Structure 1
Amino acid sequence: MSTRLDPSVSLPLRMRLKAWWHGYDLQVTRRLKELEENDHGVSLEVEEQPWDGPKFKVPQLIWGEGFLTPGGAERTAELVKPLALDKSMSVLDIGGHLGGQARLIAKDFGAWVTAVEPDPELAAVADLLSEREGLGKKADFHAVDPDSAAFRKNAFDVAISTDALYTIESKRPLLAAVGKALKKRSQLLLSDYIRDETVSDTAALEAWMKLEPRPVHLWNETEYRACLKKLRLDTRVFSDESIQLRGTIVAGFSRYLSEAAQSGVEENLQQALVYEVERWVRLVAALDSGAVKAVRIYALRN
């Protein structure tokens, strides 16, 4: 897609000064519509794909292709490394977003991935992306209602969810369905946000929740442990990953804004970029307050 610098447009001061990323002289570029010329010399506008719109494009520019949350492919590879995935295994990806995680697992490890996503629009776009990469069968996407989720019993060797369950109110019925779908000697890996109720100052937490694109429904550690115990899952790891995630967010934005300082930011992406910066700045503030924690949970079905 061709672009050119437009000196008449600049990013607002609030973005330039936001959080830690100072010192970049960012310029906005106006996006030129790409044209295709056929044999008769007639030019046609190329239809923009769903994943090219600002809503999905901006997060991918920051976190990586196919990813809407911090860390991208590097974080996924680190998270799944202890699972010892291989081509004989079936994986259930809960809250698959745009499918970067599911496709990485399918491509790098050869595992068969069934990904479920509560947002029908997101599930449809993720499925299109899998088809485009020739992974329609290896990384298959479905829209699912958490209240009525049902999967094949004893179908999966691994269930994984990254930064998704905190937006789902009906965690218990969804996790109960996941529990039934896991085979004996299977693994469950969750990366999620939880509430620390010992922290009374909730201002930063509330500010973050207001800006999230979906309603936030946080559990605390006790609720998670009790639910997994009821499902006869043995929790082996329940670790606070807040410091690591904070570093991942800062590094991701630093890298992207450094690149944007050189190439500019397309005008049609400006508003979405300001929102994305504000959203993650608020999460970091909430993590720093201690009211919310980023956690990694690993459990086994014996």
Structure 2
Amino acid sequence: MGFLRRGKKAGADTAAEKAAAAAAAKKESVFKAPRPPEGPQDPAWPKARVRLMDRMWGLGHVLPGGDEYVVDLFRVFSPNNSMSMLQVGAGMGGDGRALALAFGVWVTCIEQSEVLVESGMKESYKHGLEKKAPVVSFVPERMKLRPNGFDVVFSRLGLHTLPDKELTIEQMAIGLKPSGQMLLIEFMPGEKADPAVLEAWAAAEPQTPYLISGPRMAELIRSHDLDLRVVQDVSAEYRKLVMLGFARFLATLTRKEIESDREMGRALLKEAEMWMRRLALIDAGVLRVVRFHAIAPATKRRKALPVVE
């Protein structure tokens, strides 16, 4: 009996040891699937920075100006509830929601950052604008718009991070209805552009910028039979918007809030450094913010099909 008892105990100990060893092996296995992240991840848009945007530029906006600026900017288009628009590089869709609420227009907001898409679409649902102002993800390299689908296509500081400007402008032009309008507001090299300075600036940006010159952008727009009506330097206007946004935000920020949310404090410091670098280059004439406004012909030509011999 003693032997049986000892044998049973030894067997139990062996089973326990094997189970523990298996658990340890599983824990240390290089093939163990990593824990899935909580929602989409984007190094350029950590959660603290996304929270900061709502406070600094206005709910759902990632650029200076906010609702008031966007609504005033688009009055020239005489927007109404029968119009459809498309915004490229829409961030969290704040511009689209502002236009939908003010004028009843339909705005499709496309954005490459999944973090901003998720946050923006949640905001559109909150306002009941999931159909009037949806925020949709897109892959810039595979951008393909529905021909003649939009009365207005626009981008507000949303193209400089897209490498292929030719494809982007081509698709935006294709997406315009006859007599439709294109509006671009973009960073451009200034009259005193220094390649070395611009390279250093690009290395410090959250997302790598791919700048082209103003004349090159104008050439791309005209190459699609668009009538380029306006090319305007709006750097001074954007400088005022940035400074006003920071002033309003800092006026509402308390020391207690900074101490309780250190991540947002660090995000604020990075955002301030980013915009101060941009403004310094604008002041030095190295960088410019330029507005382009073009109109599609009343009868859009179809491109000739390739001849097959």
Short-chain TM bin: 0.7 to 0.9
- Please report the TM-score for the alignment, with normalisation by the length of structure 2: 0.77
Q: How does 1:226-245 map to 2 (within 5 A)?
A: 226-245=219-238
Q: Is contact 1:91-1:159 (8 Å) kept?
A: yes
Partner of 1:253: 246
Partner of 1:5: none
Inter-CA distance 246–207: structure 2 relative to 1 (3 Å threshold): farther
Q: Which is helix-richer, 1 or 2?
A: 2
Matched, 1:220 2:226: no
Which of 189, 193, 199 is matched with 1:195 structurally?
189
Q: Which is strand-richer, 1 or 2?
A: 1
Partner of 2:146: 152
SS at match of 2:153: strand
Partner of 1:267: 262
Question: Which is further off, 217-226 or 119-128?
Answer: 119-128
> Looking at both structures, which has the greater relative contact order when contacts are Cα pairs under 8 Å and sequence separation is at least 6?
1
C-alpha displacement of 1:78:
2.4
Partner of 2:307: none
State the Cα RMSD in Å.
Answer: 2.2
Q: How does 1:25-104 map to 2 (within 5 A)?
A: 53-104=47-98
Which of 118, 129, 134 is matched with 1:124 structurally?
118
Partner of 1:290: 285
Partner of 2:20: none
d(CA) in 2 for partners of 1:87, 1:281:
39
- Please report the TM-score for the alignment, with normalisation by the length of structure 1: 0.79
C-alpha displacement of 1:152:
1.2
Question: Which is further off, 255-264 or 227-236?
Answer: 255-264
C-alpha displacement of 1:128:
2.1
Q: Is contact 1:204-1:282 (8 Å) kept?
A: no
C-alpha displacement of 1:122:
1.9
Runs of 5+ in structure 1 lacking a partner? 1-46
d(CA) in 2 for partners of 1:214, 1:99:
18
Q: How does 1:129-140 map to 2 (within 5 A)?
A: 129-140=123-134
Count the aligned residue pairs. Answer: 255
Q: Is contact 2:193-2:285 (8 Å) kept?
A: no
C-alpha displacement of 1:253:
0.8
2:171 corresponds to which letter in structure 1? A
2:97 corresponds to which letter in structure 1? R
For the pair shown, which has the larger CA radius of gyration, 1 or 2? 2
Which of 161, 164, 184 is matched with 1:167 structurally?
161
